[in-house]
Amino acid sequence: MTAVVWANILLAIPFLAAFIAVPLWWTFKRPPAGPDHSEARAYLRARTAFAEALTRRTTRAQAAAAAHGRAA
């Protein structure tokens, strides 16, 4: 092989190493994180608590009406 071929190989090695190493470095520097569902869970807890409060309120109102002999 001629000197030009060897020079080409020697110059290609750092570029190939960079093409492989830089994305790996980015991946290990910032690994993919899973989605954060904490706000969604808080929303669902609040929504469920509100619905349960309305159910308790309706049940109490119906019980009070039945105790007084009225239909709700």
Q: Domain limits at 49?
A: 36-72
| Three-state SS annotation for 55-70 | HHHHHHHHHHHHHCCC
Does 63 or 9 have the greater pLDDT score?
9
Segment 48-57, tens digit of pLDDT: 999 999 898 8
* Per-residue confidence (pLDDT) for residue 33, from 0 to 100: 76
What is the predicted pLDDT for the residue at 71? 54
Helix (H, G, I), strand (E, B) or coil at 15: helix
The helix/strand/coil state of 10 is helix
40 and 28 assigned to the same domain: no
Task: Tell me what pLDDT residue 51 has.
Answer: 92
10 and 26 in one domain? yes
Considering the domain architecture, whether residues 4 and 26 belong to the same structural domain is answered as yes
Total domains in the chain come to 2
Tell me the pLDDT tens digit for each residue of 8-45: 999 999 999 999 999 999 888 887 777 788 899 999 99
pLDDT of 11: 95
